[in-house]
Each structure stands twice: as structure tokens, then as C-alpha cells.
Structure 1
Amino acid sequence: MLATMCTLSLTPALSLLLRRRHVHRSAVDLPLSSNFSLHCFSPKPPPTLPLHFLYRAPHAPTARTSSPSFTPRAAAGGALLQDAGATAAVLAGAYCLVLAFDTLTERKLIKQKLSRKLVHILSGLLFAISWPIFSTSNVARYFASSVPLVNCLRLVIYGRSLAIDEGLVKSLTREGNPEELLRGPLYYVLILMLCALVFWRESPVGVISLAMMCGGDGVADIMGRRFGLIKLPYNRQKSWVGSISMFISGFLISIGMLYYYSALGYLRLNWMSTIQRVAWVALVATIVESLPTTETVDDNLSVPLISMVVTYLSFGF
């Protein structure tokens, strides 16, 4: 009697189990055809967003922790330490760069004019490349801009002859006159400060402007002095080789800088549109640099400022 009751009680459960197994096997053994597929059981993919030309890099979610030591004050203190360390490192790097080329010039391994232009090219580009080592805090750009600010104060002091540094004057001026420090070199560091404070890492305007001022204009001067035999018809001080070199180098360095920040997640770009817009910026900057206005407006002002305007109009911000 007991065995009979156990058998009757197990029968519904066993029947249900066999039925589920049958349904599971039926679902697995279904033939795949053009009208029916197992993909119908998977959820539909979310609709893709329309491709915009430029995105801001998404912010990583803040990790939460139950540790009592993790507080907003501790995070802010860590950011300040990071920014202070980055500022010290960039200042030391800038000093070592100038010192290295001064040493090469004193040993007559490179000429003075070439040394000055190489410092012109590398200083601004290395400064822009160093921005990602600063923190994500709101004050990081102010720490970064303090680097050209220090150099700005040095230029004013030595340009006004309040102190004497013959090595600095020789490395940054064409004729060895300290007052030259208050023109081209001073404009140069002011543009570095402007790009760091206003545009920083989230906009292509700053990096393209620095690429055109440092890379484009710097390479144009080197190539024009060495190979510029055929002068421009409207400016006998500039050559076709120099202008073509500025366009090519400014374009390539700008693309390289944008790729650098895109790879780090600060910018997301539609590269087909980006290449066209950067080429347009490089062309306009090259035309402005070739104009006979050097005696009126220094290239360290005209080239980056026109690059800022055209880049802003092309990229949208």
C-alpha cells in the first residue's frame, strides 16, 4: 500500500520532468531554416546612435568603496599631488630641453638658427603631449598653464634687462638683442597658456593651433632657409618650399596630435571629416604665414590665432 502511494505521488513530478526535458530537446533539435532561427530567442540589439563628428570622451564611472579612507577630500588631495608633480616634471623637461640645445650650440654641433627653431618646434609640442599626465580635476589646466607662465616671467625679466642671461638671449633671439624676447618668444608662451586655459584636452582647437604654430611654422622656416631658392611672387622673404613644407608638416602633426588624444579617449572623431577639416586649417594657416606681414604681426600670433578661428568654425567648438 505504501509503495503504491509513493508511486502515485511521484508520477506527476516525473511526468512534468519528462515533459520539460522533451520541450528542451525539441527546442535544441529545431531545424534552422530561413524562416526560423534560434536568433529569435535573443533580444534585439539596441538601435545605433547617429554618427556625430565630434564627441566628448565619456567619463569613467566612479568606483565606490567602503573604505573610510576614501573620501572626496582624499581624492582632491591626490589630484593636487598629481598636478604638482606633473608641473614639476614638465618644468624640468622644458629646462633640460633648452639646456641640451644650448650645449649642442656651444659645442658647434648645430648652428644657432637651427637650434632656436628646434626648440621652437619641440617645446610647444612636448607641452601639449604632456597634458594627459595631469589629473582630471578642474584645476589641472591651471597647473599646466603655470609652466609657460614661469617662462613668460623669465622672458619679461631678461627682456627688460632686469637680469642678464646671455645663453637664454642667444638661444631664443635672432640678433642677440634682449628686447627680442618681448616679441616672438613672449607671444609663443602666451599662446601656450591660452591653449591650455581655454581649450585644454577636450577640444581639437588648442592642439591643432599648437601643431600649426610649432610644427608647421617651425618646419617651414628650416626648410625655407635650406632649400627655398624660389621665392613667392608676393613675398620675397618666403619661398615655395617653405610654404609647402608648412602645409604638409602642419597637417601631419595636427593629425598625429588628434590621433594621440583620440587614442587616450579625450576625443572621438570621424576621421574622414577630420582629415578634410585639418587640411583646410593647414591651408589657411599656410596662406596667412606666407603674407608679407611679419614686420607688423609676428607669425607666433597670426598663425595660431587664425588656426583657432578656422578650427573652431570647422569643428564646432
Structure 2
Amino acid sequence: MKLSKKEIAIISAMYFMCASSIVLNATLILMEWKRRKRERNCMKMQLLTHQLLVNKALIENLKKRKRSKNKKRSYEWWENIVKKEFSEKDWLENFRVGKDSFRFIVEELKEELKPKENFLNNARIISCVEKKVAVALFYLASVCEYRVVGHTFGIHKSTVHNIVHEFVNVGIKVLLPQYIKIPSEAEAIEIASYFERSTHLPNIIGAIDETHIPVRPPTEGHRDFINRKGWASIILQGVVDSKYRFWNICIKNPGSTHDASVLAGSAKGKYLPIGVKKSVTLTYLIYKYIYTYVILFFSGFN
């Protein structure tokens, strides 16, 4: 069958259009594939760059840690000045205890604070416990930052933090049950006699006051912990005898609790020594000369 020139021209035009369409689609597909490849390569480069930056930061951090571990620290103040040159007055000013009291605390807490390694000899154990007690007492007496205490004793601030917490926990477990207790009848009479000679007020067996300890309040009920100064705390109430020795501590009330409520909640028979009448009237007043509260027992002792 012979085609006319016109039909041949039409068929040729159709083939040309189909070929052009195929070539155009292939070109578009190829361009899209190249674009996506460029995006993938760009993303890979970004990830690689980010990983390189992370690795660089990690390496720098490790270098800093290594430098901090190798940092030179001075033990001279404790080893050569405190232990060899300090007078009794210096001990009281820096640690709030005398040298004999310091040694007493070391001896009482030696078993709890000593290192766990078995290869240490007794001399090294005593030296280690002495330094732990000194660090904790210095921090509690001066209220310095851990960093400052660490520089003073030649140790890291994290070590100071661990020592202070260990000392407090051990002290509460070992010392409080032994030395903070309600006086007996004879002790109460002796305390009252001393107070009367000093203040000319009869039947005083303790001076009481409170302080606020900063805490992080819980989410629920956090307003109860906000004290009158506007920050969160719990109240520590202490009672001391005529020689400034604690014989009772109460630390359970949130910071917003009134002083009278703290006293009422902690004094329900707890402050009454053996031999004091149960019908005794318990009151308190501000003794302006010493700026403290005093417990007055008006009924006297049996």
C-alpha cells in the first residue's frame, strides 16, 4: 500500500513528536535524579561536617579533662601550716573547734570515714580521716564554695562535695545518738543552777533558737517551704544547755511555719526531763541581752 506524501509527512511528524516527548521525559528524569543526588551529597557533607565538629569538641573536652587531672594542687596549707603552726585560737577561727575537739571527732568517726582499701596502714588511715574531717569542718564553718575549699586543701571541688556529704551522714548516724539527748533530772538541775547564776532567772534548762536551711521544695506544696524572707527552706530548731551543748534538735517543719508552732510541735513532753512535773507550764520569751529564746519551767523540779 502506497502512502501519499501528505500521509508520510503526518506519520513522520507523529514519530518526531513521540521521540521528542521521550527525549524530554528522559532529560527531565535525568535532571531530577541529578538534583536528588546533589541533595544527598549535600546532606552527607553536612552530616560529615557536623560529625567532625562533634569529634573536635569531644577531643578538646578530653584534652581539658586530661589537663585538669594533671593540674598541680597544693597541700601546703593543711600539711605544713595547719598541722604544724596553728594555735588553739587559729583552730577555733578556722574550724570552730579546738584541736582537742578535732582529734576527738576524728577518733569517733575513724571507723566510718576510713578508706576501704585494706593495704593502707594505720598512719595513712588516720591522716586521711583527719583531712576529711578538716575539709568538712572548714566548709561548714566558713560556708565557702566547694571550689574555694578545694583550692585551700589541694583537692577537686567534687571531692569536697563528697567529703562534706559523707561527714554529715556519718555524723548524724554516729554522734547525734550519743551526744544529743535530753538531760536527766540531775543534769537538768545542774543546768538550771548555772543559768540562774548567770542570768538570775530560775528554772531555765535550755536556750532555744531557730535557723533556716535552704532546700529545693517539692512541686506539690512548695509554697509551704517559702519563709518570710522569700526563699525555700526547712527550719532547724536547736536547744543548748548552759555550756552551749546541744541537747535537742528538731528539723522537720517547712520554712513558712511560725516559730511558736515549731516549738509547740516539738515540745510535747519531749523537753521535759525525768523528774520534772508533767503539769509544768512551758513558755518562752526573748531574752534581749543574748537575743535568744529561753525555756522557763516555773513549777520547778521534784
**TM-score normalised to the size of structure 1?**
0.24
Asked which structure has the greater RCO (Cα within 8 Å, sep 6+), the reply is 1
Instruction: Name the one with the larger helix percent.
Output: 1
Instruction: Name the one with the larger strand percent.
Output: 2
